[in-house]
Structure 1
Amino acid sequence: MRLRAFSAFSCFLWGQAFQAPNSRISTTSKSFYNPSVIKMTEATVVESARASGLALQLDEGTRKSHSVAENTAFVTGFFKGVSSREQFSRLVASLYFVYDCMEEAFDTCPDERVNALDYGSLRRKESLAEDMEFYFGPSWKETVSPSPATKKYMKHIQNVSKSEPYLLVAHQYTRYLGDLFGGQMMGNMARNSLGLHNEGGLGTRFYTFDSIKSTKQFIEEYYTKMNTLNFTEAEKEKIVEEANVVFRLNIELFDELEGNGFVSAIKIAFAAFKDKISGN
């Protein structure tokens, strides 16, 4: 069952890897009377917001600073999580506590630049709370506590929100855009592997963004907004550094999960996936 999910995953990655996200082609047709020419089509190249500004710096900076082996830990970790409901529930629990802490930091953040990227449609705490009740029952708040790696992640968020709150932009970028890019695919993988298709979405609510109709359009608008924010060059560099810290913290979450991932089999596939996220 996991192998079937992996096959679908690989096909998706390779199918998407060669798209060019830094520009898009729009065509407009002009019809006019001419004995020899009936119709002329003009092609206009429109630059994507991902091709400039902080958006480009984040995409470039996070891609270059991680080896394929390190990045594989993300997908490997997901396969560890979907090997059983018990293990997947542990992953859900870690994500709940991280998002609870992260979104609380957004609520109290005094930096308007962070607030500008705090879209309600991206927030995950409520969806994760539904998943927590599905796996752990109605009393889960009294029975489930964060793991050591989760506590470390939470502590880092709290420290950043107090000392340099503008760095929370890196957390928004790394977590939310990753969730959007892979949400539908990962949700389907989990439902297939764990037999959740008859649960009406319960157990995988985290991966569903009901109010975002077009992921591609939303992310383009998100990057456009990001590029309008007034960050200094020094601040942009620190945001990129913080995004890489967030990647490492997430790797540590996955490393806590028990089980074996398909490391050697998915290195190439994940490289393609990371290229898609990073804009290649």
Structure 2
Amino acid sequence: MSTQLSDRLREATRDERAGARPIPFIASLASGRLPLAAYAELLGQYWFIYESLELASTAMADDPMARPFVFPELFRVPALETDLRFLFGPRWQSRIHALPATTTYCTRIRSAAFGRATEYVAHHCTRYLADLSGGQWLRQAVVEAYGFRRDGFRFFVFEGIDPPLFRARYRDRLNSAPWARRQQDAFLAEVATAYRLNLDLLAELRDNWT
């Protein structure tokens, strides 16, 4: 029996997933040891990343291999803009600037995820499945740490979506994707790249704030 792609993904990212949560920057945010400005900068960097990724979703919506993984209900840019307006005020766009690691990350999305379905799905699942799993833990932590009530954490809120059910649905789509072994390998390689780019960004934020 061949191994399902979701199982290959879980195995391929075992080390990365194990190392993601103890990252000093995330741990410091979760405990409230960093100023609110550090959290605001994280969301600012995410705005650049999700803008690139969601432009890729629009570009890939008619691709038969990518289409099953285009979920407009997951789009984060509107929620990020709501949060950034709350955190920075109405001129929030003039207050955020892409860090070097963010620029590298966005460049990779633009070069890999526009036009190649497997690479698009790699970046898509790396970001959104993380948001629907560990991101929900971080949501609770920052709400408690920074005293948010209704605003400031909308990025983590997926209206009308049950995270465990959606993750299961996503895994089913991965397992039913009609990809040859070489396409699966390309997908897994790009997932590893996406994980590394995310960790590089968090490391740069750590250096800036800790």
TM range (shorter): 0.7 to 0.9
Question: Given the superposition, is the C-alpha separation of residues 177 and 87 from structure 1 closer, same or farther in structure 2, using an over 3 Å criterion?
Answer: same
Question: Given the superposition, is the C-alpha separation of residues 115 and 176 from structure 1 closer, same or farther in structure 2, using an over 3 Å criterion?
Answer: same
Question: Equivalent residue for 1:196?
Answer: 148
Whether 1:171 and 2:120 are equivalent positions in the alignment is no
- The answer for unaligned runs of 5 or more in structure 2 is none
Question: Given the superposition, is the C-alpha separation of residues 178 and 67 from structure 1 closer, same or farther in structure 2, using an over 3 Å criterion?
Answer: closer
Question: Equivalent residue for 1:124?
Answer: 76
Over the aligned positions, Cα root-mean-square deviation in angstroms equals: 2.1
Q: Report the alpha carbon displacement of residue 52 of structure 1 after superposing the two structures with TM.
A: 4.7
Question: Given the superposition, is the C-alpha separation of residues 162 and 209 from structure 1 closer, same or farther in structure 2, using an over 3 Å criterion?
Answer: closer
Matched residues in 2 for 1:131 and 1:188: separation? 16
Q: Report the alpha carbon displacement of residue 227 of structure 1 after superposing the two structures with TM.
A: 1.4
Matched residues in 1 for 2:114 and 2:136: separation? 34
Question: Given the superposition, is the C-alpha separation of residues 103 and 77 from structure 1 closer, same or farther in structure 2, using an over 3 Å criterion?
Answer: same
TM-score normalised per structure 2: 0.88
Secondary structure of 1:129's match?
Answer: helix
Question: Equivalent residue for 1:255?
Answer: 203
Q: Report the alpha carbon displacement of residue 163 of structure 1 after superposing the two structures with TM.
A: 5.8
Question: Given the superposition, is the C-alpha separation of residues 147 and 259 from structure 1 closer, same or farther in structure 2, using an over 3 Å criterion?
Answer: closer
Matched residues in 2 for 1:221 and 1:52: separation? 18
Larger radius of gyration: 1
Matched residues in 1 for 2:64 and 2:84: separation? 31
Whether 1:207 and 2:149 are equivalent positions in the alignment is no
Whether 1:87 and 2:38 are equivalent positions in the alignment is yes
Whether 1:222 and 2:173 are equivalent positions in the alignment is no
- Greater percentage in helix: 2
Secondary structure of 1:211's match?
Answer: coil
Residues 104-135 of structure 1 deviation map (CA, whole Å, 9 limit, x = unaligned): 01101253222211112222111111111111
The total of aligned residue pairs comes to 203
Amino acid at match of 1:169: V
Whether 1:55 and 2:6 are equivalent positions in the alignment is yes
- The answer for unaligned runs of 5 or more in structure 1 is 1-50, 261-280
Secondary structure of 2:133's match?
Answer: helix
Whether 1:160 and 2:108 are equivalent positions in the alignment is no
The 8 Å contact of residues 65 and 177 in structure 2, kept in 1 or not, is answered as yes
Question: Given the superposition, is the C-alpha separation of residues 178 and 136 from structure 1 closer, same or farther in structure 2, using an over 3 Å criterion?
Answer: same
Amino acid at match of 2:148: L
The 8 Å contact of residues 50 and 76 in structure 2, kept in 1 or not, is answered as yes
Question: Given the superposition, is the C-alpha separation of residues 116 and 208 from structure 1 closer, same or farther in structure 2, using an over 3 Å criterion?
Answer: same
Q: Report the alpha carbon displacement of residue 142 of structure 1 after superposing the two structures with TM.
A: 3.1
In the TM superposition, structure 1's runs of 4+ consecutive aligned residues that sit over 4 Å from their partners are none
Amino acid at match of 1:114: A
Amino acid at match of 1:192: E
Whether 1:180 and 2:165 are equivalent positions in the alignment is no
Matched residues in 2 for 1:177 and 1:154: separation? 18
- Greater percentage in strand: 1
Residues 30-65 of structure 1 deviation map (CA, whole Å, 9 limit, x = unaligned): xxxxxxxxxxxxxxxxxxxxx95211111111115x
